[in-house]
Chain A
């Protein structure tokens, strides 16, 4: 009776209801695929965007999106070499150590009628990022910017307080180098994820928090129209979920887990291919320089020699990552061709060093983030160190707890650090890595509490060095000093395995990060 009443109310006969149900059912039987269209690209990010304001960006995904919707003076080219080329700039030239002249291309339009990009917009954007409160954007400029002098509608000079070479790789060609429209910004005041105007080939159509960012073709773009009508960047934290989504045809491109690389290589999902890129991350075993148990350098060196890096690469990275020689990845300025200590363990030497130091029955803690790869690596280190008589207790931490372990501001836990398995992110300038290990970073991000006067001096000098060869040599020497201290056993830079649909020509940086404006359908 109740059903009849509902049916009458809805003017729905039982036959219609059944037919509608059948149609819905059949509709769901049709193979479901959102991806593989020449119009829409389905991609994936591991976190949600935080801010699309270049002066307030926080993570790499913010820059993935900003790189598609804004323009910079220069940008990293897609390909397998770290090289930049002109984007919004028609020309750019370092006149001397503290002056960089630039000229903008004419006719670069901001969307929503905010007019042409001028040198005043460059000044506004750069000074806002460099002098703002956001540490990422401000640090990219390294406290070096004095001002941007506007010398004409399209011309200007970047004036530095001090020579600062990381500017090229950290500021101008990365997130804090994106140029926004002053007029558009002033029309809205603050903005985070709804940019009032864009100058890139895409604009933000919609941001669905914790779901996706949808970019669409910018009708006002000054250059060749974008290859895709829309790009959907789906936020999927879990790599296994991303793999299922790729295999079911819901994604066109995604990073996959290291454990799946072999199966994707042998039997890739239909119409797709696997590409593995060298990542810039650096992973190392840190040994606390100041801990009473580890103050004898021979004990630290014994640990360095006892850790067999190839075993870790095989077990934790499934043989898909290479051993690192330091904190600066291959292809970057300052990369060392080889480390001072070979990646393979030398147990005899390790035992001899311990005996020489008169240490026996040593028991140490190893702090580690509770991710599968890290825990596996920690377990291998535990087994390896047991061979030289060191007992290791593994302390697993969740992210929030782990990332403040070495911070003096966050309590007293930094005093208890003995061994620590760590992994830092990196952008393509060596300064970004070395700055974490200077003496003033003790108790902040230098958790090994390593301190070396020569290292600190070189870090300062290398920032100012214009000669690339000399600058590279300085960074190599700095990594030698780190290794000689006995506080670091360098492990790997990991790898970036990507599954890519055959009908997608992916524009990627050498480390596999997406440059969405360079994605296009493959013909």
Chain B
């Protein structure tokens, strides 16, 4: 198990380094001059040159990249010359809002999707199964931004039950929860469908397997068989999906941050790319890539815990 974990962690570090390096080269390849964008039309050449030096852009790209990684080892993500603040502070300010949104979305989607999928599998080909199938595909098909806009129009504009914008008052948990409901609903709705369909399919497959038939033949209670043996295996693809899904949601949260005017890492990266604010782009992408890799590694780890065959590398 420890070897498995060590191997996965080593791979994770390599993936992060490769992804960040690739992005670094890509962002320098696209047209756009940060000094012109930042300083505006009235900047002199001397002012632009001074900014280049401040941002370290006067160095060759490979030197910039090497110094970026060297700084990371010291826990320094760089310095934003616009706001004159550390990138680490900027990223850490925005990250909790995005994580709260992602975890709330995934949490409620799993909370509804897993039981729905289980129940559909156990009552396959009934009217309930057909209905959940239609609803699930429907929720997958509706784009999240449409859900976001309609939920805003219904719950904020017409009923005025929930706030339309922002992330809530600092230190006021209730206010933050109120501000989280609609974005999490919009982001998570499609995932309810995904998860319930996946759990249903896996459950049907597992319920037909030999060891479940044997358990039934021994006369074990059906609830015991379902939750103790079948769901434990059927949940594996869902755990993997959630691991990958969290990474996907890191970027997908951008639309929710724009529509609901929420702070977050997605919008931070979007704005930073538009202004070619390289230090903020790199710092934010490093953190999100790291989170993505951690989430997928964690999913692998949980799968290994649940399924001894994975631990054994079979």
Contact = CB atoms under 8 A, between A and B. Distances in A.
A241 B261 contact: yes
Contact of B274 (A139, A241, A399, A424): A399
B99 to A, nearest CB: 15
B41 A436 contact: yes
Contact of A244 (B83, B84, B157): B157
Nearest to B93: A209
A400 B32 contact: yes
Contacts of A251: 165
Contacts of B104: none
Interface stretch (B2-10, B166-174, B208-216, B220-228): B166-174
Given A28-B178, A209-B94, A250-B164, A411 B42 contact: no
A304 B39 CA distance: 32
Which residue of A138, A208, A400, A424 has the most chain B CB atoms within 10 A of its CB atom?
A: A400
B23 interface: no
Contacts of A253: none
Interface in A27-47: 27-34
A193 B83 contact: yes
A241 B85 CA distance: 29
Interface in A129-148: 133-136, 138-139
B47 A247 contact: no
Given A241-B260, A436-B41, A247 B178 contact: no
Nearest to A193: B83
Q: How large is the interface on B (under 10, 10 to 19, 20 to 34, 35 or more residues)?
A: 35 or more
A380 B37 CA distance: 28
Interface stretch (A229-237, A275-283, A343-351, A463-471): A229-237
B5 to A, nearest CB: 27
Interface in B254-306: 258-264, 267-268, 273-276
A409 B41 CA distance: 13
B137 interface: no
B38 A244 contact: no
Contacts of B50: 133
B267 A210 contact: yes
B160 interface: yes
B43 interface: yes
Contacts of B90: 209
Interface in B72-109: 82-85, 90, 93-94
B64 interface: no
Given A236-B165, A241-B165, A133 B33 contact: no
**Among B43, B174, B268, residue most surrounded by chain A Cβ atoms (within 10 Å):** B43
A243 to B, nearest CB: 9
A64 B153 CA distance: 30
A52 to B, nearest CB: 11
A211 B263 contact: yes
Given A245-B261, A248-B160, 5 more contacts: A238-B259, A241-B260, A242-B261, A248-B164, A409-B48
17 contacts: A32-B156, A50-B82, A135-B47, A192-B83, A208-B170, A208-B263, A210-B94, A234-B166, A237-B267, A241-B259, A245-B165, A249-B160, A251-B165, A400-B37, A401-B30, A403-B36, A409-B35
Interface of B: 30-33, 35-45, 47-48, 50, 82-85, 90, 93-94, 149, 152-153, 156-157, 159-167, 170, 174, 178, 181, 258-264, 267-268, 273-276
Q: A-B pairs with the 9 shortest C-beta distances?
A: A139-B42, A410-B33, A135-B43, A400-B32, A248-B156, A31-B160, A210-B263, A236-B261, A445-B41
